[in-house]
Amino acid sequence: MTDSTVRIDISDLPAVVQQFLTALDARDTTAVIGILTPQASVTDEGHTHTGIPSITDWIADAASEFTYTTTPVAAERTGTHQFTLTQHLEGDFPGGSADLNYRFTLEGTQISSLVIAP
């Protein structure tokens, strides 16, 4: 945790972050795309997907590859427009469980960047 990092309650994450997570868990591509900036980027498993078409493909690929559940563990405000949510995943992917950090950058009421990493 850096000096500017502040732990927050998970329920205090911005509404757009909560909406994104709900839509992503439901694999609701339309809802996810509706809360991203047009040039948003998502980095997952070391690959960056930039723009709506690429992110749409990422959601479809992720939905077909593995089945998993997520449990929010902790949340932090890491900057004026930046938030990190740590989630515990369990599923049929290699290793069966993982704790991942979802690092969001917001632009107004939309998400401009998401980095998912350990």
Q: How confident is the prediction for the chain on average, in pLDDT?
A: 94
Query: Which long-range contacts (C-beta less than 8 Å, at least 24 apart) are formed by 59-62?
Result: 59/24, 59/27, 59/29, 59/32, 60/29
**Predicted pLDDT of residue 116:** 97
Classify 9 as helix, strand or coil: coil
Q: How far apart are CA 33 and CA 101, in angstroms?
A: 21
Q: How far apart are CA 106 and CA 40, in angstroms?
A: 10
pTM, full prediction = 0.92
Question: What is the per-residue pLDDT across 46-94, written as a single tens digit (0 to 9) for each?
Answer: 999 999 999 999 998 876 788 889 999 999 999 999 999 999 999 999 9
Place of tokens 């047009």: 38
First to last CA, the chain: 15
Confidence of residue 3 (pLDDT cuts 50, 70, 90): low
Asked whether residue 4 carries a pLDDT value surpassing 90, the answer given is no
Architecture (CATH level 2) of domain 6-117? Roll (3.10)
